Each structure stands twice: as structure tokens, then as C-alpha cells.
Structure 1
């Protein structure tokens, strides 16, 4: 393991960055947060003061710096093709907020650019790095619920306030790209990389011009199925259930477990209902460690390829949901 630290800049001052990823960056011993950029000098200075780094006016000025090895991009998804592309052209590794891309083509273009430059691209799905999912996989591997037959993944919350950027189609808004992507990623996590979409529905709000809810049916080549549901129009829910031949496993905070929460895993069999309180975990801290270690490793043994393939598969699933929903209208 190298003794170097990864020098990181942040392209944008989004609320998600301030709330989750910036605190994880500033406390990780593998990382030095160098600077944060905003189009507004006042906003950049405000965030820089809070996190002990330098303020930069304008995203391009941050990318021009030679004291930054990697950038975190929490911009709206429709801005990723430009700014992730420019970061790669400037020789920076990139951690981009989910969804990495609004469609499969833009994802493929950026992955191709990263591969040509020998740089790391990673999508910020922090939930993948929480230990509760390791606990689920360990139970599945030991046969606690027999053979997995079906996955249910649900993520939704009440309506967003007027003017929220997730209502803006020009910025890549909509429920599919904001919360539906989590359910699709859970399907890949538990059913494998060959999972495919077989049907979908998206409900669009005509006044907003974006989808506010949806559902999809997916399956792997072996016939294991997934039922996915998401939306901006319902009571909060953030859950996954694995249903097997001999039982089921449920997580109630599958995607958004905060650092202090000890998640509860529910294991159900014919003769058993057991609730296990799992250790708390900081999924954003774990993600930053994974990103830093991979970037500092320089892509040895193809380490950059796994995250790139994950991005491509995820974008393909998003496009497949859109095509299935269009076909069903």
C-alpha cells in the first residue's frame, strides 16, 4: 500500500456533497481535500471554511490545478458529460454523484475517455459499501434462506418542494434517475451483472415534465426475478427483501443508513422470525476509502475496470427501463 495521499478537489457545492461526502473526504487519512469550486465565489468560500480547504471560483479553474489528483463531481447528472469529461481531459480521477449518466451513450463516452487516459471513474453508490449488505450476502452464501428466488427493492419519499432541481428535465431530473437507480443497482448487487429489465412503468407529471414514480420487473438468465418500485409521491420507504426457497431476509434502511444507525436485519423461515441488530457503518467513509485506494493503486491488475463496467451496466438498465415504459404506453 502506498504512503501517498490522494489530493482531491470538489466540482460543485451541492447539498449532498456538504451533507455526506465532504465530511467523509475531510476525515479520511488517505485523502487530502485541497479545494472546492463553485460558480459563486461566496458559496465556494462558505463551503471551504466549513471543510478547511481552499475556495476556487469556477469549475474550470479547479480542473486546471496541478495539485489535485482526483475530483468529486456532485453536479446534476445532465452536467456530467461536460464536467466529468473535462476532468478526465485534465488528467483527474473522478468520483461522480449518482446517477453517473443520464443515458447509456453518455456513460459509454465517458468510460471510453477514462480508459484511454488510464483514469478511474466511480459512481457514488455509497450503500454498496455498508456492512449490512455484506451481512445479507453472508447469510445467503450459508444457505439461510435456501436458493434466492426473488428480490424486492423500494425507494421513495414524499413530494419535493417547488423548484427542486430534481423536477428539472434539463438537469436530468425525475424519480428514475434519483431513486429508481438505487433499486436497479440493488438488482445487480443481488442477482448479478446479467440481470435485465423485462417490463416497466413510469408516471410523468405533465406540469413538471419529469417522471415522479415508476416500477420495473427484472430477471437474471436463471429466472430469478426482481420487483422494483420508486417515486417522489409516497410515504418514505427504503427497503430490500430477498425471498428464497426456504425463507426471506429484509432490510428496512437499505440505501440510506446514517453513520450512527445500527440497521436491523429480519430473517424469516417457516419456524423462525429473527431480528438481528447489525453494527453501525459509515457507508460514505467506506466508499471514499475504496475510491482512494483504487486511485492510488494506479489501476494495477485491472482495478479500474470493475467500477467502469458497473457504470456501463447501470446506465444500460436505466435506458432499458425507459424503453420498456415507452413500449407499454
Structure 2
């Protein structure tokens, strides 16, 4: 599969392009940028051709798939353009900034027999499947609660994630990780009970937040996220008979030794797994989806988008009145 890359964002250059180059099922055909010099520099490094302009890349006749690592506010526009040009699409998260737009794009892809995949990479790491098996096997009894947090230190003031016009904000950038993890383990029956989004001093976007979610059963989920914090990337599953803890949950390095903490009966056990490269696993999953014609879990993508909107609405309703 020959892939074209729309944009030279940091995640593309640092992570995705090396993973594409290493995947035996993918060949990098072209890299596009609005800056010809940048396109040329990146293309030379990865042995492909440079293209000046995003629309021009979609005019290339030897590209079967497109990767979109642009700012969040531009994902929908260029994902749609790529789909309408007949290309499969891997787009950075969030796929769009509105669940109705997400539904439209998923319907467009499905109607054309194309793969549209959102680049949420941690779900492809084998540690989370191991956790699922432990829960399914009753290792902690009946699941009662899920807690997850993803927080990162402050970014440079000119970082696009502080720009509301480009789709910035903590919820879409880092909140999506604990939210998707809650969906992963509790299913798409989750609903938002309450939420709070907090705007840091001098910022035009929310820089932290939290949400409480529930299911029709007995399980609840609490998620915390932020981008002006000490670093944390973890989740916990609490059951009727024990608990499971996972640290460095969402963005572990490829050589990281994954550990699952299992706590039950007053004892603690560390389950160590082999290192796993979730970036390579994500790229392989995209290539396999295209090869087999099997779309990814579109239900999770859409429900995630709906919950992001529900969190925004809930936080807006619950915002305290500070006028007095």
C-alpha cells in the first residue's frame, strides 16, 4: 500500500513516518507541506517525493491511502477530501471536533468501501488485551469502577494545542485517552453524569478537566486529564474482589517493559509482559484493515465522539457562576 502524508507535524516525523517505513506492507509515496522546503527535507529523509500543498497530494495517482496529522480543526476537511478522492484514511485524533461530523465521515467511508481509522494507538498495545483477559477470567471479581488519568507538563506558549481556532484544548488532546480507555473496558453504554473543564490563567482553551461516567449496570468511570500538570498516564480497574493497576498506560516507549499490577486477597502481584511497539502495531492494524477490507471499530470511534460532546455540554451546564 502506497501512502501519502498530508503535513509534516512532529508526530508524523518522529513516530508515524518511521513506522510506515518499517512496515513491510506500506511504502511511503509522498509527503505534502505548504512549505516546499519542509516537504523536501522530510521527503529526502524518508526516500519519497515532496509535494507542495495538501490538495496537490490528492492529485497523485499512485497513492492508495492518506495519513492526516494536521491540527485537530483540519482533520475533518482533509479526511473527507481524501475519502472523496478514493483513498483510505488514517487520521490523528480526534477525527473531528463534532460527533455529527464524525458520523458523516464514517458513513462516507463505509459507503465507498474505504477504511477510515482514528490514530488512537494505545488500544493496539497488547498489555490492554492482557488486562481484558484478567477481568474476563474473574481475577478481580465483578467490575465496579474504572479510574484513569492522563496529564502532561505545560507546553510552549505558541503550541497549537493552546489555540481554539485549531481545535486546541486538554479534552481533545489528552482527555481522549482516559475516555477511550473507559470505553475500551466498560463498553459503549457509558453516559456522562457530570464534568468540569478548567481554563488555565491566560489561556483561551481548557487546560484541565475531569468527568464522571456511568453505565446501566453497577460500574462507574472517573477520568482526569490536563496539560499543565505533573506527568501521569495510568488507569485502575476496581472489582468486587481485587483491583488492577496500569502505569505508563497510554504512550509507553517501544522498549518499555509493560507491568500489570494485580491486587487481591491482601497480596500484590506484578505481571510483566514483553515490550510492545504500539506505533508499529497501529500501522500494521491499518494496513491489515485495508488489505482485508475490514473496517476498524467504528462504533467506538463514534461513541467516543459523542461522549466528548457530552462532556463539553455537561461542563458548560455545570460551570459555576462567578459573576457575583
Query: Any residues of structure 2 matched to 1:135-284 within 5 Å, and which?
Result: 135-205=130-200, 207-284=202-279
CA distance in 1, matches of 2:315, 2:278: 32
Whole-angstrom distance in 2 between the partners of 1:123 and 1:310: 10
- State the 1:136 CA deviation: 0.6
Deviates more, 1:66-75 or 1:42-51: 42-51
Which of 303, 309, 313 is residue 319 of structure 1 equivalent to? 309
Q: C-alpha separation between the residues in 1 aligned to 2:305 and 2:252?
A: 24
Identify the match of residue 100 of structure 1 among 95, 102, 110: 95
Instruction: Name the residue aligned to 2:76.
Output: 81
* Whole-angstrom distance in 2 between the partners of 1:76 and 1:106: 16
Number of the residue aligned with 2:104: 109
Measured in 2, the distance between the counterparts of 1:310 and 1:174 equals 21
Give the secondary structure class of the aligned counterpart of 2:297: helix
Give unpaired runs (5+ residues) of structure 2. Answer: 320-324
TM-score by length of 2: 0.96
Task: Provide the C-alpha distance between the structure 2 equivalents of 1:243 and 1:321, rounded to a whole number of angstroms.
Answer: 23
**Contact 2:72 / 2:94 at 8 angstroms: preserved in 1?**
yes
Note the C-alpha offset of 1:267.
Answer: 0.8
> Does structure 2 retain, via aligned residues, the 8 Å contact 1:123–1:307?
no
Normalising by structure 1, we get a TM-score of: 0.94
Which whole-Å deviations, capped at 9, do the CAs of 1:94-122 have from their partners, x for residues lacking one?
00001111111221221222122221110
Count of equivalent residues: 319
Gaps of 5+ in 1: 1-5
**Contact 1:121/1:307 (CA < 8 Å) preserved in 2?**
no
- 1:307 is aligned to 2:297: yes
Q: Match of 1:46?
A: 41
Residues 78 and 171 in structure 1, CA contact (< 8 A), matched pair in contact too: yes
